Amino acid sequence: MSADPGLTAAAPAAGGLRRSFSWRPRFGHLLALLAAVPMLALLALFIFLVLYAKPAMPIDGWHFLVRDTWNLGNLYADPVTVHGRQMLPGASYGILFLIVGTLASAALAVVFALPLAVLSALLLAELLKGIPAFLVSTLIELLAAVPSVVYGLWGYVFLIPFLDHHLYGFLEHRVGPWLPFFAGPRGSGYGLLTSAIVLAIMVVPLITATLRDGLAATPRELREAGRALGATGFESAWRVVLRGQRTVLFGATILALGRALGETMAVLMVSGNALNYLPHNIYAPISTMAAFIVSQLDSALQDPTGMALRALAEIALVLLVITVAVNLAARLLLQFYGRRK
């Protein structure tokens, strides 16, 4: 926007009309130029990842997605040539455990977040009024402003020992016998359930805020009609007002899922960084694609053939495709619904 002062200054009040013709196209050009930047940036990102990951793709092919075989190979052996490509002996890249860890933690997070978000949105839109509503909604929105790494810190120092002592023992012994996935051993507190709980806290405010705005925009007549039919306050809110916001809720939930899928630092600090195995129960260590890129980038750089760095680009590409697809689905859904209304 460095050109703004110049543009405005170039339009003295008297000559404004005439001048406007001369800089109208210039303004349009400038605008187009600025607007092109995000498009080019995204294009560059996609092209870069595809091109950079390409040499690593034939090594495992589709097995990249369905096997638990992440192995940089023998870093101290001489590289070998396979299909015309230099790589380390024993190198193979299979990230099923990362895909499962990412999807499971994000999905579980959304499952935890959903009831909390719906109830808190009802509270904010239907029950609280005036200052209390403002205060509570401000506080819940601040939850979204807490930096990821602070969630990681809090999770690492407070939440893990807290959950391990007060919740996981109960779950293991009381729920475990009924639901095998809750059975022990419950390990260290680092793992799938802890990651999902931290992620849930991080995404709740996103759903709450969107749903609250949707609820607040519902015409008052709808509520009054509900009440007139003899519904209690909560029944009217739940059955009439909330029902009208089903699509908004769905869209916001998918959006939250997208955020949880790409979350990095907090997960890195509480997930236990599992490698090459799938979680055998809900307490087991996991790793996610985003956290794995941070923790493996330095090791990958030691591969003299550069193949490991390219395999990380493959992970970044898979993560990008998943999050982008999820985000687009949510936005299109919300937009489609918005237009119909």
When asked if residue 129 is in the footprint of another protein (CB under 8 A), the reply is: no
Which span (57-65, 165-173, 217-225, 321-329) binds another protein, by CB under 8 A?
321-329
The residue (of 10 and 65) whose beta carbon lies closer to another protein is: 10
Give the footprint of another protein on residues 46-105 (CB under 8 A).
48-49, 52, 68-72, 74-79, 90
Q: Quote the least distance from Cβ 196 to another protein, whole Å.
A: 15
Cα Rg for the chain, rounded, in angstroms?
26
The CA dihedral of 287, 291, 292, 295, to the nearest 10 degrees, is -120
Q: Output the six-digit token pair for 274.
A: 């599992």
Asked if 148 and 270 count as a contact pair (C-beta separation under 8 A), the reply is no
Among 110, 168, 312, 314, binds another protein (CB under 8 A): 312
Please, which of residues 278-307 interact with another protein by CB under 8 A?
280, 284-285, 287, 290-291, 293-299, 301-302, 304-305
Query: CA nearest 108: which of 298, 331, 282, 309?
Result: 282
Q: How far is 69 from 52, CA to CA, in rounded Å? A: 21
**What residues does 92 pair with on adjacent strands?**
71
Nearest-approach distance from CB 178 to another protein, in angstroms: 22
- DSSP H or E run through 280: none
In the complex, the smallest distance separating the C-beta of residue 334 from another protein, rounded to whole angstroms, is: 10
For residue 177, the minimal CB distance to another protein (Å) is: 20
Build a one-symbol-per-residue string for 244-263: x at contacts with another protein by CB under 8 A, - elsewhere.
Answer: --------------xx-xxx
CB of 259 to another protein, least distance (A): 8
Q: Hey, which bits of 47-178 come out as E strands?
A: 80-82, 85-87
Burial of 47 (0-12, 13-18, 19+ CB in 10 A): exposed
**x/- track of binding to another protein for residues 182-221 (CB under 8 A):** ---x-xxxx----------x--xx--x-------------
Site for another protein in 11-40 (CB under 8 A): 11, 16-17, 19-21, 23-24, 26-28, 30-35, 37-39
Buried/exposed code over 95-125 (b: 16+ C-beta within 10 A; e: otherwise):
bbbbbbbbbbbbebbbebbbebbbebbbbbb
Nearer to another protein, 23 or 181 (CB): 23
**Closest alpha carbon to 96 in 274, 266, 308:** 274
- 166-174, 218-226, 244-252, 326-334 -> range binding another protein (CB under 8 A): 326-334
CB 276 within 8 A of CB 70: yes
Least Cβ distance, residue 245 to another protein (angstroms): 15
